[in-house]
């Protein structure tokens, strides 16, 4: 869980930086999309990324079932007595919300770009800037859905990042509060970076 989680966080960081380029230059964003099109290294990267998600989901499901089994009939009582954060208690539920958002995200963007190009399906979009800007400019509801999705990811990651470091071994009294603070800052910056795109183009559509 820790290794796959750290791997996915690095991907989110890259994806966030890529998305932010769209606010400043559609040409740069389209250039990045072209690099990540239907070529062998992009396909390999997609498969590796998909594998990371599958491993994370499978292990998350397995650990949740193991925890439920270990608590037995007193699982609800023991959960109420344990002083843990809300996000820590609901990591699997948050994970399911994140997964649902990923499916929507893949359908809106990846399917219409790399997937259609890869399988030579009519309507493949090579310039992703028009697709992204059009979606968030013409459909404000999608912007709201994405912001709510990012909120779920924020809760998931604020617990997940420091938990990953704790699993690796940084769990002493000195580093524990530091890691929680660092995880909150890093997660907030990543999620705000993602939120800039839908919010910016939605607001811009009302004034242009």
State the pLDDT at residue 149.
93
> Which of 95, 197, 190 minimizes the C-alpha distance to 152?
95
- Predicted confidence (pLDDT) per residue in 44-91, tens digit: 888 999 998 889 888 888 887 887 777 665 554 544 455 567 777 777
Geometric angle at alpha carbon 41, from 24 and 54, rounded to 5°: 90
Pure H helices in the chain:
2-24, 26-35, 40-71, 75-81, 86-89, 91-105, 116-118, 128-138, 140-168, 175-207
Contact indicator for 199, 147 with CB cutoff of 8 Å: yes
Q: Name residues whose C-beta falls within 8 Å of residue 90's C-beta, 6 or more positions apart in sequence.
A: 155
Residue 77: CB atoms within 10 Å? 10
Degrees to nearest 5, angle at CA 94 with 61 and 197: 130
Measured CA to CA, the distance from residue 10 to residue 59 in angstroms comes to: 19
At 159 the pLDDT is 79
Please tell me the predicted confidence (pLDDT) of residue 72: 63
Here the tokens at position 107 are 């359908």
Q: For residue 22, what pLDDT is reported? A: 95
Q: How far apart are CA 95 and CA 102, in angstroms?
A: 10
Q: Which residues of the chain have pLDDT under 70?
A: 71-84, 168-172
Contact 51/43 with Cβ under 8 angstroms?
Answer: no
Alpha helices in 36-90 (DSSP H): 40-71, 75-81, 86-89
The pLDDT score that the predictor gives to residue 191 is 95
**165-169 CB contacts, 8 Å cutoff, 24+ apart:** 165/2, 167/1, 167/2, 168/2
The alpha carbon of residue 37 and the mean position of all alpha carbons in its chain are separated, in whole angstroms, by 20
Contact 135, 142 (CB under 8 A): yes
- Structural domains of the chain, with CATH: 2-207 (1.20.1300)
**pTM of structure:** 0.81
Confirm if 101 and 143 have CB atoms less than 8 A apart.
Answer: no
Backbone angles phi, psi at 197, to 5 degrees: -65, -60
Predicted confidence at residue 84, as pLDDT, reads 66
């Amino acid at each position: 869980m820790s290794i796959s989680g750290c791997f996915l966080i690095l991907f989110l960081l890259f994806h966030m930086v890529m998305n932010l380029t769209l606010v400043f230059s559609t040409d740069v964003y389209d250039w990045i999309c072209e690099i990540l099109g239907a070529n062998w290294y992009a396909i390999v990267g997609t498969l590796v990324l998909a594998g990371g998600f599958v491993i994370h989901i499978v292990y998350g499901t397995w650990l949740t079932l193991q925890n439920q089994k270990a608590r037995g009939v007193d699982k609800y009582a023991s959960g109420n007595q344990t002083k843990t954060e809300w996000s820590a208690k609901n990591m699997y539920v948050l994970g399911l919300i994140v997964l649902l958002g990923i499916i929507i995200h893949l359908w809106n963007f990846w399917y219409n770009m790399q997937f259609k190009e890869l399988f030579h399906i009519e309507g493949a979009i090579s310039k992703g800037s028009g697709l992204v800007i059009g979606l968030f400019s013409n459909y404000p509801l999608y912007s709201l859905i994405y912001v709510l999705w990012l909120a779920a990811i924020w809760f998931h990651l604020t617990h997940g990042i420091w938990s990953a470091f704790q699993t690796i071994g940084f769990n002493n009294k000195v580093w524990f509060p530091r890691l929680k603070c660092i995880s909150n800052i890093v997660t907030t910056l990543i999620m705000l970076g993602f939120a800039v795109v839908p919010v910016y183009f939605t607001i811009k559509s009302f004034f242009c």
